[in-house]
């Protein structure tokens, strides 16, 4: 079993992953995120945060459902399941 911490450098800045395996630690360089995709992710996360404050029953879930798919897709391109994301 391995654990991964992903450090995101930004739109053009490279990031890296620290992968903890049963046999040691491995550092993996990552390319920077595309600016448009990073902006879309940031905006989607902001909307999700605001949707959590909605009081009308079921409204937050309806707003969040399509955004969750976008966020999962974006993060899935840069992270492994069960990893931790650190945005710098």
The chain-wide mean pLDDT, for the chain, equals 80
> Is residue 4 within 8 Å of residue 82, measured between CB atoms?
yes
Q: Please state the domain count of the chain.
A: 1
Tokens in use for 37?
């995709």
Query: In this model, does residue 82 exceed pLDDT 70?
Result: no
User: With contact defined as beta carbons under 8 Å apart, do 1 and 82 qualify?
Assistant: no
Angle between helices 35-51 and 59-76 (to 10 degrees): 150
pLDDT digits (tens, 9 = 90+) for 4-33: 787 777 667 777 888 888 888 888 888 777
Q: In the 8-state DSSP scheme, what is residue 20?
A: E
Residues 38-60 have pLDDT tens digits of: 888 888 888 888 988 888 989 88
Structure tokens of 44?
């989607």
**Residue 88 above 60 pLDDT?**
no
Q: Which domain holds residue 19?
A: 3-87
Q: Are 6 and 17 in contact (CB under 8 A)?
A: yes
The CA-CA-CA angle for residues 29, 41, 45, to 5°, reads: 125
């Amino acid at each position: 079993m391995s654990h991964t911490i992903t450090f995101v450098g930004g739109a053009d800045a490279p990031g890296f992953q620290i992968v903890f395996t049963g046999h040691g630690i491995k550092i993996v360089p990552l390319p920077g995120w595309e600016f448009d995709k990073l902006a879309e992710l940031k905006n989607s996360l902001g909307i999700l945060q605001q949707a959590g404050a909605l009081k009308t029953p079921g409204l937050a879930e309806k707003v969040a459902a399509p955004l969750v798919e976008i966020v999962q897709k974006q993060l899935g391109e840069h992270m492994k399941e069960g990893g931790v994301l650190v945005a710098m």
